[in-house]
Structure 1
Amino acid sequence: MNSVTIRLQPALACAWRRQTTRNSRRIRALQLPCYGASSTDLLPPVQTNLRHYCSGMEQEKGLLFRQLFESVSSTYSYLLADLETKDAVLIDPVLETVDRDIKLIDELGLSLKVAVNTHCHADHITGTGLLKKRLIGVKSAISKHSGATADILLTDGDSIIFGKHCLNVRETPGHTDGCMTLVTGDQSMAFTGDAVLIRGCGRTDFQQGCSKRLYESVHEKIFTLPGHCLIYPAHDYKGQTVSTVDEERKYNPRLTKSLEEFVDIMKNLNLSKPAKIDIAVPANLVCGLHDV
C-alpha cells in the first residue's frame, strides 16, 4: 500500500487515503455486535443499519421475528416462528389487535402453536382467548403461579418448542407472582414482560407486587444473561423498541440502585390505578375467555 501511495501525486494520495479511511470505517461499523437500540439520542447514526443487520441475523438462524404494537396500552406483542416448519409463538397478544395478528400469521403462512402471556396483565385484555376461538390448535400458556387458567402452565426451566427453536422460562416475580421472562435458546433475545422495561421496570403496588422480590428476580434471572442479549419488554411509553442486558445493567435509573434505594423509589412512585384493571384482570385470569 505504501509503494502505491508514494507514486501518486500529493493531492490524489490525500484523497485516496480519505476514501480508504471511510471504507474501513464502514467495514468496522458492519462488524459491530448486534446490540439493538433503546434511545436514538444515545446511539450513533450507524444504529439504523444495525437494525437491518439484526433482522438479517435472525433470518440466518432460521428464525422469523416480528415486533408488534398496540397503541392504547402501549403494549408490544412478539411473533416468532421457525422459517422451515412455520411453527409460531405469539407473546403477549392483545384483544384489540387479534385481527391484525391473524392476518399477519396468515400472510406469512405460519401455524400458530402457542399464545403465551408473560404475566396476568392489568392494563389490557389478552387476545389469547379469541385466538383460540379463531385459530385451530392454538394452546394458551402462562405461569403456573399467575393463578390464571391456560392449556399450558409454565414453571422455571420449562421450554416452549417451535420447530428447532425454543423459548426458555425464567421466573421473574415481583411485578406479579406469575411474571416470567422468555429467553431464546441461544440467549440472544429475552422477552421480559413488565419485569424490566427500557430504563425502567414494572410497578409493584398491586397484584402481589413486591419491590424486593422484583429487584432480586431481575438481578438473578435477567442481569445474569449475556450482556449483548436483546431485551424486549411488554410495554414502552416513549417510542423505544429494544434494549440490551448490558445497557440496563449500566443505565437503568431504578435497577442500578441498591436494594434499599430501589424499594424506596418504588414506594414513592404514586402512580394512578390502571384504567382497565377491574376488567382486564378477571378476563385475563381465564385467558381472555369472557364474552368476546
Structure 2
Amino acid sequence: MLIFRQLFDPTSSTYTYLLGDSASGEAVIIDPVFEHERRDVALLRELGLRLVATLDTHVHADHVTGAWLLKQRCGSQILLSEAAAAEHADRGLVHGDHVKFGTRHLEVRATPGHTSGCLTYVLDDQRMAFTGDSLLIRGCGRTDFQQGSPGRLYHSVHEQILSLPAACLLYPGHDYRGLTVTSVAEERRFNPRLGGDVNEADFTGYMNHLGLPHPKLMDIAVPANLRCGRPEAEGQGGQIGEKNADWAALTCTFSGIWEIQPTALAEHIAGVGAGEIQVIDVREPQEFTDVLGHIPQARLLPLSELASRVGELDAQRPVVAVCRSGARSAQATVLLQKSGLKRVANLAGGMLRWRAEALPVEGGAE
C-alpha cells in the first residue's frame, strides 16, 4: 500500500510530499523545507518509515531545501536535476530515470521552463504526479530568472504533464490560496495560462508581461539550494529550535510535542540529574494516589489549576509533565510553553507506560 502525506510550510506556501511503501517501509520526500526537518523526521518515525531519498523539483528561490539536514538525520540520498549542477547531490537525475522506494518508483520527467532544471515526478501507476512550479493549480511558475523560458515551459507542460491520463492527480510545489490538488483533466480545460485553446504565442505574451518582483529570499535561497541546503558554516542547522533538547534525550512528535521516554526520566531522577528536573503530575488528586500511584519526586499540579499556578514552577529548571496516558500532560506542555517556560517535555505514555516498564512508584497497587 502507498503511504502518502501532503505537508505545508505557511511562510513560503510550499508543499512537501512524503511517499512511502508500506511493504518495505522505504520512503521518499519531495521538496523538503529546511525549517521543517524535525517535523518530517517525526512523521517518518511515527509511520515507521525509513527515508531513502529526498527529491527536489528544482532549485528553489523562495525557501531553502531540507535535503542536507535530512541526510544528516536519516542517511537519505539527495536527488535533483543533473542540469541544476548543485553541490553535494548524491545523484543527478535526467529525463526517464526511475527513483525506487521499496516496490514503488517515481518516473522522472524533465519539465524545464520555470528554471532550466525543473523536474516532474510521476508515480509508477500514473495516478499522481508532482509538478513543482512547472504547473500550479490554474497557473504555472514564472519564467524570468534561472534560465527560465516561456517557450520551453509551454512545451514541457503540454508534452510531459498534460499528456498524462486525464484522471491523474497533480500536486504542485506551491499554492497561495489554500488549494491542494488538481487533475490533468481540470488543467487541460481550466488553466487560464496553459489550458483550452491557448497556444505558445498566447502563453509567451502572457508570461513576458507578468512584471513580478523577485522573491524576497532569492539571494539567500538560490545559493543555499545550489549547496543542497548545506549550511556555509559547520555546525549550523540540524538543531533549529532544539535548545529545548539540551537537558535530556527528547524526541519531537509530529504534533510538535517534545517527549521524554520513561527510562530516560527514571535515569535522571536516580542519577546525577536528581532534583534538576521538576516532575509535575497533572492528574486530579484522587488519581495521584490511585492504583497507578505516582512517580517519586513528582509534584501534584492538576491540569485544571495549572494556568493559575505556573508561577510556582522554577523557570530555570526543566519540567516534565505526567498524566495517566500522556494526553492531558501533552496539553500541559503546550500550556507551559505558552506561559514562557522553554524546557518542557511530556512523559511518553504517561503512568501506564511507566508502570508497564516496572519503574519505581510511590503508592498504587502491585
User: TM range, normalised to the smaller chain?
Assistant: 0.7 to 0.9
User: Which amino acid in the other structure matches residue 79 of structure 2?
Assistant: A
Cα distance, 1:147 vs structure 2: 1.8
User: 1:86 & 1:236 partners in 2: Cα distance?
Assistant: 29
| Residue 273 (structure 1) aligned with residue 214 (structure 2) | yes
User: Which amino acid in the other structure matches residue 244 of structure 1?
Assistant: S
Cα distance, 1:132 vs structure 2: 1.1
User: Which amino acid in the other structure matches residue 285 of structure 1?
Assistant: L
| Residue 99 (structure 1) aligned with residue 38 (structure 2) | yes
| Residue 120 (structure 1) aligned with residue 59 (structure 2) | yes
User: 1:112 & 1:84 partners in 2: Cα distance?
Assistant: 14
User: 1:226 & 1:259 partners in 2: Cα distance?
Assistant: 22
| Residue 173 (structure 1) aligned with residue 112 (structure 2) | yes
Q: Name 2:11's counterpart in structure 1.
A: 72
Instruction: Give structure 2 stretches of 5+ with no counterpart.
Output: 238-366
Q: Choose from 125, 140, 143 the match for 2:81.
A: 143
User: Which amino acid in the other structure matches residue 85 of structure 2?
Assistant: G
User: 2:98 & 2:40 partners in 1: Cα distance?
Assistant: 23
User: 1:97 & 1:255 partners in 2: Cα distance?
Assistant: 32
User: 1:277 & 1:141 partners in 2: Cα distance?
Assistant: 21
Cα distance, 1:133 vs structure 2: 1.3
Q: Choose from 175, 183, 188 the match for 1:244.
A: 183
User: 2:47 & 2:112 partners in 1: Cα distance?
Assistant: 34
Q: Name 2:205's counterpart in structure 1.
A: 264
Q: Name 1:47's counterpart in structure 2.
A: none
User: Which amino acid in the other structure matches residue 145 of structure 1?
Assistant: A
Q: Name 1:232's counterpart in structure 2.
A: 171
Aligned-residue CA RMSD (Å): 0.7
Q: Name 2:47's counterpart in structure 1.
A: 108
What is the identity percentage for the equivalent residue pairs of Structure 1 and Structure 2? Answer: 55
User: 2:213 & 2:186 partners in 1: Cα distance?
Assistant: 28
Cα distance, 1:268 vs structure 2: 0.8
Instruction: Give structure 1 stretches of 5+ with no counterpart.
Output: 1-61
* Runs of 4+ displaced beyond 6 Å: none
User: Which amino acid in the other structure matches residue 215 of structure 2?
Assistant: P
Q: Name 2:279's counterpart in structure 1.
A: none
SS in 2 for 1:260: helix
Q: Name 2:135's counterpart in structure 1.
A: 196
TM-score where L is the length of structure 2:
0.62
User: 1:133 & 1:122 partners in 2: Cα distance?
Assistant: 23
SS in 2 for 1:200: coil
| Residue 207 (structure 1) aligned with residue 146 (structure 2) | yes
User: Which amino acid in the other structure matches residue 156 of structure 2?
Assistant: S
Q: RCO higher in 1 or 2 (8 Å CA, sep ≥ 6)?
A: 1
User: 1:84 & 1:244 partners in 2: Cα distance?
Assistant: 27
SS in 1 for 2:42: helix
